[in-house]
Amino acid sequence: MYSEKFQDIYFNEEGIEESQYVFIEGNQLHERFMLPKDFSVCELGFGTGLNFLLTAKIFLEKNQHHTLYYYSIEKYPLKPAEIQKALNRFLEISLQLKGLIDLFKKIYYPIEGFSTIYLHPRIRLTLMIGDVVDMLRLIPDNSKFDAWYLDGFAPSKNPEMWREEIYQEMARLSYNQTTFATFSSAGIVKRGLIKNGFIIQKRKGFKNKKEMLWGYFLSNEQKISPKIESVGIIGAGISGITTAILLLKRGYKVFLFDRNADFLQGSSGIDVASVMPYISTTKNNLSDYTLKSYNYLLSFLLKFFHKDFYKIYKDTLILKKHQYLEKLPFFVECYRIPSYCLRKNQNCFINKRGGIIDTKELLNQIKIVLNEYSDSFCFYPNTEIIDVLSTKENILLQDHKNSIYEVDALVFCNSYDLEKFSLLSYIDYQKVRGQFIRFNKKFIKSLIKKNIIADISLFALKQKIYLGSSFEYYLFSQNRERVSDQYILQKLEQNFPSVFKEIAQNHSHYEFTIPTEAFVGFRCQSKDYLPVVGRLTHWETFIQNLKNLNPNKRYYYKDIFIPEHNNIFIHACHGTRGYTTSFLSSEIIASMIHQDPLPIESSLLHDLSPARFVFRKWRSSQNRKIFNL
């Protein structure tokens, strides 16, 4: 396949053999994949995905229990049809190719920045779309790689791919004995690698090529295995249960605590949940994170619950809000959304990258997965943790019956119960009440073919119709409220008058004339609408550090040292998009605990960090009195 831009080929007729020779053998991966541990690769130049698909295939053949974390940077991504056309003739990777193309057809691809998806339950791919140096700089410091593939077009054709900054970033993201391999033997490549601490070796190039380079990084930094063996999770909602699954998958013993009698209670217990990104007119951190979260979620459900995916997930949402129609062209342009993902249709638009989750079906599949880890998983229902004591060695949890539990790490996934712990007292969030209405399909004649979001949602699932939800910031009743019913019916009349006429018969007081049931839940939402995800800030020490800064100078908290609790994490405040953002957030937490390369950019990690709340108060002169600043 030929690149007009770079006047060069992606690979020759023997692409599989060349990839094997240069990158697999060059990094000694046949032998290394057989070791009983996870493995991470960073590739410069995704191209057609040939190296990735071949590496994934070989890893699954050689390693039976662990996970491959594959990162790949590409500035000029090919379309799925171009990738499929280029690789169709390589029968050795046909199964992997089909899986990748199917994924690309279901997610937002390509979007700039990082997108993490699962090709297989043990193959995690992070695609980084953008300039190679920019993307490398966005990989967090604690994301170290086992091997590098340097596979850009030749230095003479693509000099940007071989800049000095690239080798500096490679050194930052390598530990002692991290290997590299490249088809190139150009002097600029040799000098850049040697200057930044890499030991280079030469071997004969593939076929007629004279020579190629391979080697390793030499430093005092060793790869350290995590010392954590057990993790406690407070809260068994969607954030807690997905974190538990990803930690069990990595080999940890998990203790899950919830004050309810089962999983997915509270706001997570609604029968049907919508999943979709935040539609915006400009790029912002909320749109970025929800787009990446949607991509991750779809791949997670497809690969972990493959046989029952279509029982769990129902795609296609029609969005009828006027503000969405106004935002759509800007959203498509600024994120370069492919035209087939979203399309206008009269007074609405069809979002083919959104849908609903049948949470009861999801719960059934989750319980099947948890049963597979019965030796490592302990669930404590009807158990309320009331105190946390962190020591140098471990963490002690005390419940309402004065029982004590000892764990190596702790994750707070306890929604609006955050206020019960002094460790979390600095986090700004609000409790938002929501009421959903459901009734049997048999009571209306209207044929609801699609799941629709307008000022309220109108969902059809199995034999039920769902209407809602209300957003009430100052109502805290756990019982069904008439005022909420009236709000829902008023919005129903405005958006779906034919449905309204059948279930309320134009009643002047907005009252139901058919039997209905209600679901009441409380969302935990941060003041900036982003989730709170990451290591817990040691906020008292952080405040003391802030006191020493010049109050007249402008600081950005990403540039300030933030003291954190090593083994205490938070995963909360997902608000109305909890089912969209919880899965990727769980991957972040599990990766931090297991010391895997992290699945999102360092800039987004800072946006999600709980430290942002303390820093904003410090930045605001009117709030400094709160912390005696």
pLDDT in tens, 278-303: 988 889 999 999 999 999 999 999 99
Note whether 394 and 410 are same-domain residues: yes
Q: Does pLDDT of 311 surpass 80?
A: yes
Whole-number mean pLDDT of the chain?
90
Q: Does pLDDT of 113 surpass 50?
A: yes
Note whether 82 and 130 are same-domain residues: yes
Last residue of one domain, picked from the residues 526, 542, 573? 526
Element (H, E) at 246: helix 238-249
pLDDT of residue 7: 44
Top-confidence residue, 39 or 330: 39
Note whether 14 and 159 are same-domain residues: yes
Note whether 246 and 109 are same-domain residues: no
Q: Does pLDDT of 474 surpass 80?
A: yes
For residue 467, give its domain range.
430-526
Note the pLDDT tens digit of each residue in 591-629: 999 999 999 999 999 999 999 988 887 777 545 555 554
Last residue of one domain, picked from the residues 172, 195, 217? 217
Report the percent of the chain where pLDDT is more than 70: 95
Top-confidence residue, 426 or 123: 123
Note whether 514 and 594 are same-domain residues: no
pLDDT of residue 6: 47
pLDDT of residue 351: 86
User: What is Dmax (Cα atoms) for the chain?
Assistant: 85
Q: Which residues pair with 435 in a beta bridge?
A: 520
In a domain, 314, yes or no: no
Note whether 596 and 521 are same-domain residues: no
In a domain, 241, yes or no: yes
Q: What is the average pLDDT across 309-323?
A: 87
Note whether 395 and 478 are same-domain residues: no
Note whether 415 and 448 are same-domain residues: no
pLDDT of residue 342: 84
Of 158-162, 434-438, 547-551, least confident by mean pLDDT is 158-162
Query: Residue by residue, what is the 3-state secondary structure of 259-328?
Result: CCCCCCCHHHHCCEEEECCCCCCCCCHHHHHHHHHHHHHHHHHHHHCHHHHHHHEEEEEEECCHHHHHHH
In a domain, 400, yes or no: yes
Q: What is the average pLDDT across 179-195?
A: 90
pLDDT of residue 529: 93
Note the pLDDT tens digit of each residue in 230-240: 999 999 999 99
In a domain, 342, yes or no: no
In a domain, 396, yes or no: yes
In a domain, 577, yes or no: yes
The answer to whether 254 and 247 are in contact (CB under 8 A) is yes
Top-confidence residue, 413 or 12: 413
Q: What is the average pLDDT across 349-376?
A: 93
CATH number reported for the structural domain that contains residue 272 in this entry: 3.50.50.60
Task: List the structure tokens of 97.
Answer: 């190719």
Note whether 577 and 592 are same-domain residues: yes
Report the percent of the chain where pLDDT is more than 90: 65
Note whether 565 and 460 are same-domain residues: no
> Could you give the number of structural domains in the chain?
3
Note the pLDDT tens digit of each residue in 14-70: 789 999 999 999 999 999 999 999 999 999 999 999 999 999 999 999 999 999 999
Note whether 399 and 476 are same-domain residues: no
Last residue of one domain, picked from the residues 497, 526, 555? 526
Strands 230-234 and 253-257: parallel
Secondary structure letter of residue 334 according to DSSP:
H
Residue with tokens 């190296």: 51
Distance CA 338, CA 109 (A): 7
Note whether 19 and 122 are same-domain residues: yes
In a domain, 36, yes or no: yes
Three-state secondary-structure class, residue 409: strand
Distance CA 325, CA 285 (A): 21
Q: What is the average pLDDT across 114-141?
A: 96
Q: What is the average pLDDT across 265-283?
A: 91
Q: Does pLDDT of 406 surpass 70?
A: yes
Q: Does pLDDT of 277 surpass 60?
A: yes
